[in-house]
Chains A and B, each alone.
Chain A
Amino acid sequence: MDGDMESLWPQIEPLLAQVTKPARYIGGELGAQQVEHRPDVVSWLLVYPDSYEVGLPNQGLQILYEILNERRDAAAERSYAPWVDMEAAMRSAGVPLFSVEGHLPAAGFDVLAFNLSAELVYTNVLNLIDLAGLPVRATDRTADDTIVMAGGHATFNPEPLADFVDVFVLGDGEEVVGEINDVLAAHRCGPARAVGDPDRRGALLRDLSRVPGVYVPSCYEVAYDDDGRLAGVTPRFADTPARVEKRTIADLGSWPYPRQQLVPLIEVVHDRLNVELFRGCTRGCRFCQAGMITRPVRERPAEQVRTMVSAGLERTGYDEVALTSLSSADYSGIEETVGGIIDDPACSGQVSVSLPSLRVDAFTVGTAAQIQRVRRTGLTFAPEGGTWRMRQVINKLIREEDLYAAVDAAFSQGWKRVKLYFLIGLPTETDEDTLGIVALAKQCVAIGKRYHNSVSVTASVGGFVPKVQTPFQWFGQNTIEELTRKVHLLRDAARPVRGLTIRWHDPKATAAEGIVSRGDRRMGAVIEHVWRHGGTFQEWSEYFDLGLWTAALEAQGMTLEDAVYRHRTEHEVLPWDHISAGLHKDFLWQDWKDALAEHGLPDCRWTPCYDCGACTGYGVEHVVASAVPPAGGSQGTGQDLSSGGQVPVRFLSTAPSGAAPADRSGGSTPAMAGEGRG
């Protein structure tokens, strides 16, 4: 930035008396950095396009915040989407988007970098660019306007936002953020800027497009065929990559971040110390985009986990630590790690450990007992599918007895409330599969009644949205009517079951998520239409409005049928074909065929490689301390893990002997605990 930005605090302060939760806008978190902006320093505003409470805990943003601020030639501040009342107050007082640390105007920064973790925040991204005072469309920005960047999981189909974002960054950000800063620093102090070259913005963007992992939409041409179908997205320049590959850090142990996790003054979601156990997951759940795009598995060394936990608790004063990953029970030596934290004398027996995203088949009753020693956090199990057939299709190979044993362990350890997560609208799903959800949940209630007079089981049901870079990317999403019918089926079947509650995600919101998830560049006009008609905070049910989305589609001559419900075909050009998460398209297609054939696929971290491309393409490999899978459940008993390779294994659909739910002795029977899912 050019050094002459002034704090907007005197204009912001009078607004705070009028708005809800004014402390969202004051900064002052433990770990917040007061940076100095100088002409030779690249200034970054890292923006989470949702409310402060949702955005502040985001670990990706915090990691980049620290890495940038450790550099002498970079300075990073943070911003979050002002809540609707504050936005109205800001617009009426002429106050632009500002940073929470220095209360500096967003448009004074060199870079506005958005974290995109979900699709329904896209309209907020447009709103924040506008609130910053920048042109919403990238083509309208002039030479020295702030560069708008975006990273995060949702960037694996960047096309719907390609009209608004100058630069996308794919994959792990730890290394590439420094390379981008180098390019920005060179241009900031370079001759083109000094002589006022009118094409200096284009030159900067072109230089950025040559950084591996960086996608600059304006460097690509989009072609459509006579039927209006996408024909291809191709580079405009010889030195622009035809296919942009994601970045992958080889060793998580080299990046022990965040070192100074932010501790907010107000309560936020996930308000606790978070330590990342490992990145990536190769369980291979076919619906799970996070698992597909973050391969391979890279574990953090156990010693580093211990150090980060003890130093983090000491520094923050938190009394809860979450050991995070996409499937925390798969971490080598998870029991020792959890037990070590709870028994650490420095924790005075008052620190609880939570393990979000646990599989029921990889967690022992011993650890279930461990985690409730301090305080009993919420317990969530995620079978995802109601029948074994369904779970083979989605490759979530949890047997009924795994789930029942886990639930039994939980109830026997004193829990009285259990939450189950399911998806509906999965490929090949029949009503028998849907109703299997109630059958499973009903059995869980019955197990609970053995231990307590009154138990509560909640089955939380979400509509499935096919995600890009997964084997289900070709699948036509269920219609709103079909999802609603399935919800009613579940509701009616569950009504007579005392102790069972069904909760469901609004099928209309599922449809809207589907609109943006797999769209091509033309979807940008739809997003802009929704935003211009007041559609912000669309992931919040009180502001979500499907009518805005369908009207926007109609205005662009598009339909839900084509954009969301249509099955994609094998040889169709997909809007994200020029973006790579490392996975070969033929691997994904084969996995899609396997899914339809109800074939499961074992986890490649403990079995031979399938050559999905994530390791071989990037010269990286799994970093796993244990060569064997965790004990318990289907991983320890029923599966033939010796096979792999070309021919997928058909798993046993009946229980092996000796694994009855009542047998909870020893450490080999599964249980699961946690509060969330991958």
Chain B
Amino acid sequence: MRIRFRFSKLGKIRFTSQRDVARMWERALRRARMPLAYTEGFSPRPQLSFGLALPTGAESLAEYVDVALDPDRAETTGVDLATLPAALNALLPEGLEIEEAVLVERSKESLQQIVTSCSWTMRLVGPTRDELSTSVDALLAAPTVIITRERKGREELDDLRPSVLALAVADAEADLAVDPTGRTVGLVAELSTQPRGVRPVELLRGLIAVSAPAAHDTIDGPADSGRPGSTPVLDRACRTQQWIERDGLRREPLLGRVVPVGTDRAQHAMERAS
């Protein structure tokens, strides 16, 4: 038996790593006395499975974790999915907040395997809206966008273009990407996760490659070089959705053949049958 949680990671806590977040979850689940399933062996750990790792420094509105329960102990103690998010939110550090929890079947594939793309909003310092717009158009029009990526400690060249499923300068209405100070320009993107996930800084590298191919190495520099027309620097990035695309349909990972919060299995089975 597994519970799948959707949660957000916002504010100062964005500077913690995926591994840190995993440990925060472990501690909160133990404090909540959840009947966790543990790995075998000499050093048993709770069985938690997170989806695609969020880069340290990025925020998210759409993180997921699958928590495996010990079926025998879960049977005895019972798990109330309706009250669980609030109970755990009181135990998780500020900045991590559960939105929803559902039961998923044990046999279901891992989040890592099934998520096909992610939506992002980003705020960039440097270019004007028009300059960014030109770069976006150039990237979308390019047949290939070759960038350097680090893989297992080695730099290699890779074509970014097939991974960019959608890209646009943010509308003023897309408030997540709009900086109230007006210092930054917003960008929205949908980036494929297969065969490899694209990180926001890598997308930026692509935008720089199509506009000023020589400026690769400066994009991770300080965020205070906010002169119009200079190399774009990532100010904030937020993952807003993770998607599962199958049979032409894009689904959010909590939906699909799962039991929604607050309904029991029997009721759900009836809904499906009807």
Contact = CB atoms under 8 A, between A and B. Distances in A.
B27 A263 contact: yes
Contact of A265 (B13, B29, B42, B222): B13
Nearest to A29: B93
Contacts of B42: 372, 375-376, 414
A197 to B, nearest CB: 42
Contact of B24 (A22, A93, A265, A350): A265
Interface string A314-333: 11111100000000000000
B20 A265 contact: yes
Question: Of A22, A315, A372, which is in contact with the most chain B CB atoms at under 10 Å from its CB?
Answer: A22
B224 interface: yes
Contacts of B30: 317-319, 350
A353 to B, nearest CB: 14
Q: Give the bracket for the number of chain B residues in contact with chain A.
A: 20 to 34
Contacts of B221: 18
Contact of A317 (B12, B27, B234): B27
B222 A14 contact: yes
Contacts of B57: 16-17, 22
B265 to A, nearest CB: 26
B13 to A, nearest CB: 7
B232 to A, nearest CB: 13
Contacts of B91: 317
Contacts of A27: 12
Given A28-B12, A266-B16, A350-B44, A316 B27 contact: yes
Top 5 A-B pairs, shortest CB-CB distance:
A317-B27, A22-B15, A317-B31, A317-B30, A375-B43
Contacts of B16: 23, 26, 265-266
Nearest to A14: B223
Interface in B1-56: 12-13, 15-17, 19-20, 23-24, 26-31, 33, 38, 42-44, 56
Contact of B38 (A23, A314, A350): A350
A267 interface: yes
A93 B13 CA distance: 23
Interface of B: 12-13, 15-17, 19-20, 23-24, 26-31, 33, 38, 42-44, 56-57, 91, 93-95, 220-224, 234
A652 interface: no
B43 A28 contact: no
Contacts of B94: 28
Nearest to A13: B12
B93 A26 contact: no
Given A26-B13, A266-B16, A375 B44 contact: yes
A30 interface: yes
A314 B33 CA distance: 9
A267 B28 contact: no
Contacts of B224: 14, 93
Interface residues of A, number: 30
Interface of A: 14-18, 22-23, 25-28, 30, 93, 263, 265-267, 314-319, 348, 350, 372, 374-376, 414
Contacts of B234: 17
Contacts of A318: 27, 30
B12 A26 contact: yes
A612 B32 CA distance: 50
Given A22-B57, A28-B94, A266 B20 contact: yes
A317 B44 contact: no
A25 B26 CA distance: 23
Nearest to B27: A317
B56 A22 contact: yes
Contacts of A374: 44
A133 B132 CA distance: 41
Nearest to A25: B15
A93 B224 CA distance: 10
Question: Of A17, A26, A93, A315, which is in contact with the most chain B CB atoms at under 10 Å from its CB?
Answer: A17
A317 B56 contact: no
Question: Of B15, B28, B56, B220, which is in contact with the most chain A CB atoms at under 10 Å from its CB?
Answer: B15
A370 to B, nearest CB: 15
6 contacts: A26-B13, A30-B93, A266-B17, A375-B42, A375-B43, A375-B44
Contacts of B44: 350, 374-375
Nearest to A352: B43
A16 B222 contact: no
Nearest to A19: B15
